[in-house]
Amino acid sequence: MAKITYIEHNGKEHVVEVANGLTVMEGARDNGVPGIDADCGGACACSTCHAYVDAAWVDKLPAKEAMEEDMLDFAFEPNATLSRLTCQVKVSAALNGLVVKLPERQI
């Protein structure tokens, strides 16, 4: 399990325990965190689970694969360094304390 902090665009924080093996997107979806739509259900076929990873965590996450990079082009205000599709980030104990900030909207 890992505690993940999701911060809505308005600043409201949600600290959620997410089981290892799930994705950061599934943790938000399963715990009713608003701001992650996940329209494709985690297939990396949309950008509606886009979030900005806290800068302290960027180098601790696995690198983005080409498909994720391509889909981020469709996200709302992507940031080349901080943007991730949360469906592509698998939870493990190493992610305990991860902080992600949600964009103003998903498109």
Q: State residue 37's pLDDT score.
A: 95
pTM: 0.96
Q: State residue 1's pLDDT score.
A: 96
Q: Which CATH number applies to 2-101?
A: 3.10.20.30
In the chain, what are the domain boundaries? Answer: 2-101
Q: State residue 7's pLDDT score.
A: 98
Q: State residue 46's pLDDT score.
A: 96
Residues in the chain, pLDDT under 50: none
| Cβ pair 106, 36 in contact under 8 A | yes
Q: Name the nearest CA neighbour of 51 among 23, 74, 84.
A: 84
Q: Name the nearest CA neighbour of 9 among 86, 104, 82, 106.
A: 104
Separate counts of helices (H) and strands (E) for the chain: 2, 5
Q: State residue 92's pLDDT score.
A: 97
Torsions phi, psi for 90 (to 5 deg)? -80, 140
Q: State residue 33's pLDDT score.
A: 98
